[in-house]
Amino acid sequence: MAIHVLDEANRCLNCKVPQCQKGCPIHTLIPTVIQLMLQGKLDEAGWMLFENNPLTTVCSLICNHENQCEGHCVLGRKGAPVHFSSIESYISTTYSTKMVKGPAPSNGIRVAIIGSGPAGLTIAVLLARKGYQVTIFEGKDKIGGVLRYGIPDFRLPKSILDDFEYRHLILKDIKVRPNTTIGGAISIDDLLRDGYKSIFVGTGVWRPNTLHIKGETLGHVHFGINYLNNPDSFHLGERVIVIGAGNAAMDVARTALRKGVRYLQCFSRTSTVAASKHEFDYAVLEGVEFIYRKIPVEIVDEGVIFADALEKEDGSIEQLPGTEKLYPADSIIISISQGPADKLVNTTKGLKANSRGLLQADEQGHTSRPEIFASGDVVNGARTVVEAVAHSKIVAEAMDAYMQSLPKDGASAQ
């Protein structure tokens, strides 16, 4: 791998105005990192990556590089771009084992992080660097959120997250309370009672969107986010239909094939797929059959009845009557994105959400309650990991400013 990485690094033109950096949502200093590595300063390059993006090891594997850094590389205009994803992965994973620095001196201020997905982990690390006493409350048994329970292991090995927990959380004395849902036995007001001066909400979007068609409750019908949570608990049979064509649907389809499904069809309402070209190409390579311009009408025991779809110039889609056809399947998986759960909003007085259930927050993460901040998917809907990290960096600064503005005599609850 190192030889390949060096070959890629040597192709970098070290542009004075790096378009790759502009294409990165978190503005990673790509040419600088590459030059540091080529100069034998691997640790400096690694430190720079993690300082800018605590989730750099994750992003190097799952970012949509073809539309971001690599998609903006000038070499890609006439040939192959510099594959910074491979360079970033090599540097970050090599350097991560050297991260042994303990916690920053404590400033005595407690902060609660609700949810340990990309946004929550980013906020936790950034505030711990400033000396805050951080506790993460995670509803599942391990940290990672969608990174662990929504992305297959073949795309993001769980060992990456386990290493993150040690290097970034345990060594920095960030406390984690697993299997703890805020809005149940513990409320946000309980946290404030116990001295947390600010609370960050990054609970993600775990409620599957539904089709609202007849047959959706039948026993052979499942939701994509539930399937990815624990694929081994499902018995799908040999023939499976996936309804949806985004990146999550690609993860569902490719996982199902790895778990023994023999025939997998993926249905899209339009003439294209919403997934990235990279994910689509691999799905095709691995045997997924794509069927376009189909609208699901009804789910029956034998499979799904689809009708033809007509795409109009205004972007709307019309179902063509008389075109209904049964497509057989042993199991059906619906993967058409997700929305937020409403438990936290329902149990927290004054915390406002919009009509979609997403928390109302400004660009700095301020919600309708001054001590509560939010970012990530629970605010913006399902987005990319690097977008969540980029937004969370802004929110972390706003949280720091808010807590530093509090009266000092009330800021040191221990």
* 296: CATH: 3.50.50.60
Is residue 81 in a domain? Answer: yes
- Is the pLDDT at 413 greater than 60? The verdict is no
Q: How many CB atoms lie within 10 A of CB 337?
A: 16
Looking at residue 295, its amino acid is I
- Give the Cα separation of 122 and 374 in Å (integer): 12
Q: Which of 290, 316, 336 is the last residue of a domain?
A: 336
Is residue 291 in a domain? Answer: yes
pLDDT tens readout for residues 219-251: 999 999 999 999 999 999 999 999 999 999 999
217 and 293 within one domain: yes
Per-residue H/E/C for the chain = CHHHHHHHHHHCCCCCCCHHHHHCCCCCCHHHHHHHHHCCCHHHHHHHHHHHCCCHHHHHHHCCHHHCHHHHCHHHHCCCCCCHHHHHHHHHHHHHCCCCCCCCCCCCCEEEEECCCHHHHHHHHHHHHCCCEEEEECCCCCCCCHHHHCCCCCCCCHHHHHHHHHHHHHCCCCEEECCCCECCCECHHHHHHCCEEEEEECCCCCEECCCCCECCCCCCEEEHHHHHHCHHHCCCCCEEEEECCCHHHHHHHHHHHHCCCCEEEEECCCCCCCCCHHHHHHHHHCCCEEECCEEEEEEECCEEEEEEEEECCCCCEEECCCCCEEEECCEEEECCCEECCCHHHHCCCCCCECCCCCECCCCCCECCCCCEEECCHHHHCCCCHHHHHHHHHHHHHHHHHHHHCCCHHHCCCC
Is residue 36 in a domain? Answer: yes
pLDDT above 70 covers what percent of the chain?
A: 97
- Give the Cα separation of 243 and 223 in Å (integer): 10
Per-residue pLDDT, 401: 97
The number of folded domains in the chain is 3
Find the domain containing 386 and state its range. 110-206+339-410
Q: Which of 61, 96, 131 is the last residue of a domain?
A: 96
Tokens of 289: 């059959």
Minimal CA–CA distance to 293: which of 278, 312, 276? Answer: 312
202 and 343 within one domain: yes
pLDDT tens readout for residues 306-354: 999 998 888 889 999 999 999 999 999 999 988 777 667 777 888 888 8
92 and 21 within one domain: yes
- Give the Cα separation of 146 and 183 in Å (integer): 20
Looking at residue 164, its amino acid is F
User: How far apart, in Å, are the Cα atoms of 214 and each of 240, 303, 304, 321?
Assistant: 18, 12, 10, 17
pLDDT above 90 covers what percent of the chain?
A: 78
Lowest mean pLDDT among 151-155, 273-277, 313-317, 362-366: 313-317
pLDDT tens readout for residues 174-210: 999 999 999 888 999 999 999 999 999 998 888 889 9
Parallel/antiparallel/unpaired status of strands 331-334 and 221-223: parallel
316 and 222 within one domain: yes
Q: Which of 69, 96, 123 is the last residue of a domain?
A: 96
Section 10-35 average pLDDT: 94
- Is the pLDDT at 64 greater than 60? The verdict is yes
**Residue 179, Cβ density class (10 Å: 0-12 exposed, 13-18 middle, ≥19 buried):** exposed
Is residue 104 in a domain? Answer: no
Say which CATH number the domain at 42 has.
Answer: 1.10.1060.10
331 and 359 within one domain: no
- 121 neighbors 168 (Cβ within 8 angstroms): yes
pLDDT tens readout for residues 130-179: 999 999 999 999 999 999 999 999 999 999 999 988 888 988 899 999 99
- Give the Cα separation of 110 and 120 in Å (integer): 15
Section 257-275 average pLDDT: 96
225 and 298 within one domain: yes
Give the model's confidence band at 414: pLDDT under 50 very low, under 70 low, under 90 confident, else very high. very low
258 and 323 within one domain: yes
237 and 194 within one domain: no
161 and 265 within one domain: no
318 and 219 within one domain: yes
- Strand order through the sheet with 196-201: 175-177, 133-137, 110-114, 196-201, 372-374
Per-residue pLDDT, 52: 95
Residue 380 CB-half CA count within 13 A: 19
Is residue 403 in a domain? Answer: yes
Is residue 349 in a domain? Answer: yes
Give the model's confidence band at 357: pLDDT under 50 very low, under 70 low, under 90 confident, else very high. confident
332 and 280 within one domain: yes
pLDDT tens readout for residues 367-409: 999 999 998 888 887 788 999 999 999 999 999 999 999 987 5
CA pseudo-torsion sign 232, 64, 168, 43: positive
Is residue 306 in a domain? Answer: yes
For the chain, what is the mean pLDDT?
A: 92
- Is the pLDDT at 410 greater than 60? The verdict is no
Section 19-32 average pLDDT: 94
332 and 222 within one domain: yes
- 82 neighbors 8 (Cβ within 8 angstroms): yes
∠ CA(106), CA(108), CA(111), 5° rounding? 100
User: How far apart, in Å, are the Cα atoms of 170 and each of 24, 103, 124, 135, 394?
Assistant: 29, 9, 12, 11, 24
Is residue 122 in a domain? Answer: yes
Per-residue pLDDT, 171: 86
